[in-house]
Structure 1
Amino acid sequence: MSIETTFYPRLQAMTDQWMDLFGYWAPAVVSDTLEEYRACREAAALMDFTMLRKVDITGPGALAFVNGIVTRDVSKLGVGQIGYGALCDENGKMIDDCTVMVRSADDIRFCGANDRDYHLFHELAPEGIAVTEITDATPHLCLQGPLSREMLQSLTASDLSNAAFPYYTFREDVEIAGVPVFMTRLGYTAELGYELWVDREHALELWDALLRELTPLGMKVIGMDALDLFRIEGGFIIGGVEYDPMVSPYECALGWSVDLEKGDFQGREGIVRDRDATTLRLGSVMLDSGGAAASGAPLFVDGVEVGLVTQAVESPFLDGQTLGLAKIPLALKVPGTKVVARVDGEDVPGEVVEHPVYEKQRRKAKELA
């Protein structure tokens, strides 16, 4: 049974198109998917991200404890910084992709998308470390798009400039429209963007203020169908599609986040084994046709099955061309490599393309352009 987020009553008045996302109700479409897409690429888009699992880990040595579990060396992060990486099981296989936020050496905020996250930390925590699940107590909105800073700056006295609030950092001293928020600068669209975490009792106050003040400036509320366009164009992964408990970080494009030199951590031995044994890597393919129906299609090169499309869409950035994220042997992950996808029993030609196709260097998100 899907759970309603705090923002569900407001969204229910806007759409009747829903889907289950990580156990919560999420809008698939709010107005029109292409309009929602354009709003994010050209102005700003607001989405409910409450379903992401949020966990506070506190007590003496909390940072060292978390560093012994995630693949990234988060001990190198300073207060206010965010690290993105993988959470693996004892065999080195993916549980989640996640962010770790350092409030102090004894106070860590963790965000992923899997219920197992909380239970894992809770079970492994030594005496003196408290693990608190705060997902429903801290609803979570995401504002993305080139005008997102300008829009939010109009609602706060805090300095949101690039210098004061860089990419992959967070702030706890910001009020938006008078509502205190825990604010991160990251996202899932490859655009400039922010996340706004808010205490449950102030959530609808924040929602109403954002819609009242920012809708006239071009902001749109968007659904998960539009988010699929952003994530596939931008090369972002999601659990249950690009990875599952049989997949290593190397296969789903998180090998870069594995820091084998930091010492022991959960799953290290299996990850080392998979570093060379895992031949598939995540890339992008463009097909002559197929659209969403190409999701899950096997890929062939010279008649030999070599990989698969994880999910495909008709990409607005590529003028409606079918674009898919795909698992491809490392040796074939070369732009221009010809492939054939078997879509609903028919062979559809295509080729490997640059991965990701949109903003590979994340210049817009980092505001380097």
Structure 2
Amino acid sequence: MSDELKQTPFSSSYPDGVVEWIDIFGYAVPLTWGDPNVECAAVRNQAAAFEFSMLLKWDVEGKGAIQTVNSIFSRDISEMKPGTIAYGVVVSEAGKMVDDCTVFVYGPELVRIIGANPIVGDLLDHYRTNNVTVSERRDELAQLSVQGPLSREILQKLTSSDISNDALRWYHFMTDVDMAGMKVQISRIGYTGELGYEIMLPVDSAQAFWDALFKVGEPLGLLPAGAACVMMCRIEAGLIMGEVEYDHTMTPYECRMAWSVDLNKDNFHGKDALIEAQKNPSLDIVSVILPGEGEYDGVELMDNNKKVGIVTMAIPSPYLDGQFLGLARINRENSSVGNRLDLSMESDGQAEIVATPVYDPERVRSRS
């Protein structure tokens, strides 16, 4: 691990065997404990735990908290009940992507927004009224994702609170849950396309929580997982990533986030530009199956020797028995399922566009 990178709240609890560390927002994050396929198999068949403490977390507090967040967020949160979560986007005044974010509504005077781009915090500060405060709390809160079909069974062993599907639905959360003797927030969300939860708790409780979790989870197959596993799962599940699938030149209509833009809500940052942008999006994000093994990240997709897209990231997909699967940014007119495109590399085959997501397209497992 580089001395120049910061440690995450859970890093002191990580078991030995990390093969490689990578830099995520200045933090050292495990790439893998040895075999991403094994870690991915745990996500799909048992459970795995990985950390998202590196994400930025803004608490918006005071009378007008809802209005402040609504001023920059693409979805209308004014009628959301406490304990509910909304996933959507923040855009620039020009309607271009700034970040895809998750919003947690605690009540009319407290909202938390989690994302990756510091500009989100700048926009919150710009739109807040004098009686609203905006506090960034990444250094205070540890965030651990526990994903997989046995995640509920494992976490239920740590608490007497009911976290069944009836008690805690997808995109809902509970606060002040006593879990292994610690007060935590538990949320039904994830980045894998599986049944899963995220736990948020004070940084100084992170090590104790990790130890308690793995004490009950290891007998059921719980593994720690690194960033490589997360990328494999998210690509199979068709989940986008900032500065990979989209950048600041694209609109939500060009990166699979059109569904999250509510143009019927009151004016919000970038709305006027989005009204125009929806009329003629030029790009799309698609899933592509690629021929054989190769280094496909950044490879151009060609139609009649003309560049029409680019592979943003590709992985050997366990769900497809090792076939290389990628997400690609592509011209809208070339994005039809079944379309085959040449690659700007030596290859015996073509890229084939397939329906997104490849894994569990109805999100049955996430909702279960």
Q: Give the TM-score of the pair, scaled to structure 1.
A: 0.95
Given residue 66 of structure 2, which amino acid in structure 1 is its aligned partner? L
Contact 2:71 2:127 survives alignment (8 Å): no
Q: How many angstroms apart in 2 are the aligned matches of 1:189 and 1:323?
A: 15
Given residue 185 of structure 1, which amino acid in structure 2 is its aligned partner? R
Question: Which residue number corresponds to residue 181 of structure 1?
Answer: 184
User: What is the Cα deviation at residue 289 of structure 1?
Assistant: 2.4
Residue 253 in structure 1 maps to residue 256 in structure 2: yes
User: What is the Cα deviation at residue 16 of structure 1?
Assistant: 4.5
Q: Unpaired runs of 5+ in structure 2?
A: none
More off after superposition, 5-14 vs 99-108: 5-14
Question: Number of matched residues?
Answer: 365
Residue 193 in structure 1 maps to residue 196 in structure 2: yes
Q: 2:58 aligns with which of 49, 55, 58?
A: 55
Cα shift readout 1:53-94 (whole Å, capped 9, x = no counterpart)? 111001101111111111111223211110000011221111
Question: Which residue number corresponds to residue 333 of structure 2?
Answer: 331
Contact 1:71 1:259 survives alignment (8 Å): yes
Question: Which residue number corresponds to residue 239 of structure 2?
Answer: 236
Residue 221 in structure 1 maps to residue 216 in structure 2: no
User: What is the Cα deviation at residue 348 of structure 1?
Assistant: 4.1
User: Which secondary structure does the structure 1 equivalent of 2:78 belong to?
Assistant: helix
Cα shift readout 1:187-211 (whole Å, capped 9, x = no counterpart)? 0000000000011121111011112
Contact 1:294 1:341 survives alignment (8 Å): no
More off after superposition, 115-124 vs 209-218: 115-124
Question: Which residue number corresponds to residue 110 of structure 2?
Answer: 107
Contact 1:22 1:114 survives alignment (8 Å): no
Q: How many angstroms apart in 2 are the aligned matches of 1:228 and 1:27?
A: 12
Q: How many angstroms apart in 2 are the aligned matches of 1:321 and 1:157?
A: 43
Question: Which residue number corresponds to residue 301 of structure 2?
Answer: 299
User: Which secondary structure does the structure 2 equivalent of 1:141 belong to?
Assistant: strand
Cα shift readout 1:140-189 (whole Å, capped 9, x = no counterpart)? 10000000001111111000111110000010031221111111100000
Contact 1:174 1:183 survives alignment (8 Å): yes
Q: How many angstroms apart in 1 are the aligned matches of 2:33 and 2:279?
A: 44
RMSD (Å) for aligned C-alpha atoms: 1.5
Q: How many angstroms apart in 2 are the aligned matches of 1:129 and 1:290?
A: 53
Residue 158 in structure 1 maps to residue 161 in structure 2: yes
Q: How many angstroms apart in 2 are the aligned matches of 1:342 and 1:176?
A: 52
Contact 1:340 1:347 survives alignment (8 Å): no
User: What is the Cα deviation at residue 290 of structure 1?
Assistant: 4.2
Q: How many angstroms apart in 2 are the aligned matches of 1:100 and 1:212?
A: 31
Q: How many angstroms apart in 2 are the aligned matches of 1:51 and 1:325?
A: 24
Contact 1:283 1:328 survives alignment (8 Å): yes
Cα shift readout 1:89-121 (whole Å, capped 9, x = no counterpart)? 221111110011110111101111222222331
Q: How many angstroms apart in 1 are the aligned matches of 2:248 and 2:6?
A: 24
Query: Cα 1:348–1:21, aligned 2, differ >3 Å: closer, same or farther?
Result: farther
User: What is the Cα deviation at residue 15 of structure 1?
Assistant: 1.6
Question: Which residue number corresponds to residue 127 of structure 2?
Answer: 124
Given residue 314 of structure 2, which amino acid in structure 1 is its aligned partner? A
Question: Which residue number corresponds to residue 74 of structure 1?
Answer: 77
Given residue 56 of structure 1, which amino acid in structure 2 is its aligned partner? D
Given residue 338 of structure 1, which amino acid in structure 2 is its aligned partner? R
Contact 2:193 2:359 survives alignment (8 Å): yes
Q: How many angstroms apart in 2 are the aligned matches of 1:327 and 1:361?
A: 22
Question: Which residue number corresponds to residue 320 of structure 1?
Answer: 322
Contact 2:12 2:207 survives alignment (8 Å): no
Q: How many angstroms apart in 2 are the aligned matches of 1:223 and 1:315?
A: 16
More off after superposition, 60-69 vs 272-281: 272-281
More off after superposition, 80-89 vs 123-132: 123-132
Residue 167 in structure 1 maps to residue 170 in structure 2: yes
Given residue 280 of structure 1, which amino acid in structure 2 is its aligned partner? L
User: Which secondary structure does the structure 2 equivalent of 1:102 belong to?
Assistant: strand
More off after superposition, 162-171 vs 237-246: 237-246
Residue 90 in structure 1 maps to residue 93 in structure 2: yes
User: What is the Cα deviation at residue 301 of structure 1?
Assistant: 2.3
Question: Which residue number corresponds to residue 313 of structure 2?
Answer: 311
Contact 2:177 2:183 survives alignment (8 Å): yes
Contact 2:72 2:123 survives alignment (8 Å): no
Identity of aligned residues (%): 40
Q: How many angstroms apart in 2 are the aligned matches of 1:12 and 1:124?
A: 44
User: What is the Cα deviation at residue 304 of structure 1?
Assistant: 2.7
Query: Cα 1:88–1:2, aligned 2, differ >3 Å: closer, same or farther?
Result: farther
Q: Unpaired runs of 5+ in structure 1?
A: none
Q: How many angstroms apart in 2 are the aligned matches of 1:12 and 1:251?
A: 40
Query: Cα 1:107–1:74, aligned 2, differ >3 Å: closer, same or farther?
Result: same
User: Which secondary structure does the structure 2 equivalent of 1:326 belong to?
Assistant: strand
User: What is the Cα deviation at residue 4 of structure 1?
Assistant: 1.3
Q: How many angstroms apart in 2 are the aligned matches of 1:150 and 1:211?
A: 13
Cα shift readout 1:196-242 (whole Å, capped 9, x = no counterpart)? 00111211110111122211210000000011100111011111101
Q: How many angstroms apart in 1 are the aligned matches of 2:54 and 2:21?
A: 14
Residue 363 in structure 1 maps to residue 364 in structure 2: yes
